[in-house]
Amino acid sequence: MIRTLLSITVTAFAVITFSACSDEPKPSDKDAVASSVNEFGCKQEDVAAPRWTCIPIVDGSYAGVGIAPKSAAGMGHMRRVALANGRSDLAQQIKSQVKDKVEVYTGTTGNGTQETVDQVTTAVSKQLANVSLENSKGIDTWNAPSGALYMLVTVPESNINKKVKETVQDTVSSSYKSDNALWQQFKSKEALDSLEKEFPSE
CATH code of 115's domain? 3.10.129
pLDDT in tens, the chain (202 residues): 544 444 544 444 444 444 444 444 444 433 433 333 344 589 999 999 999 999 999 999 999 999 999 999 999 999 999 999 999 998 888 888 888 888 888 888 888 778 877 888 787 777 776 666 778 999 999 999 999 999 999 999 888 888 888 888 888 888 787 888 888 888 888 888 888 888 888 7
Residue 122 lies in a domain: yes
Residue 106 lies in a domain: yes
Residue 49 lies in a domain: no
Based on the structure, what is the number of domains in the chain?
1
Q: What is the C-alpha to C-alpha distance for residues 171 and 122, in angstroms, rounded to an integer?
A: 10
Q: Is residue 39, in this structure, part of any structural domain at all?
A: no
pTM over 0.95: no
158 is a domain residue: yes
Q: Is residue 145 part of a domain?
A: yes
Residue-number span of the structural domain to which 126 is assigned: 62-198
In a domain, 160, yes or no: yes
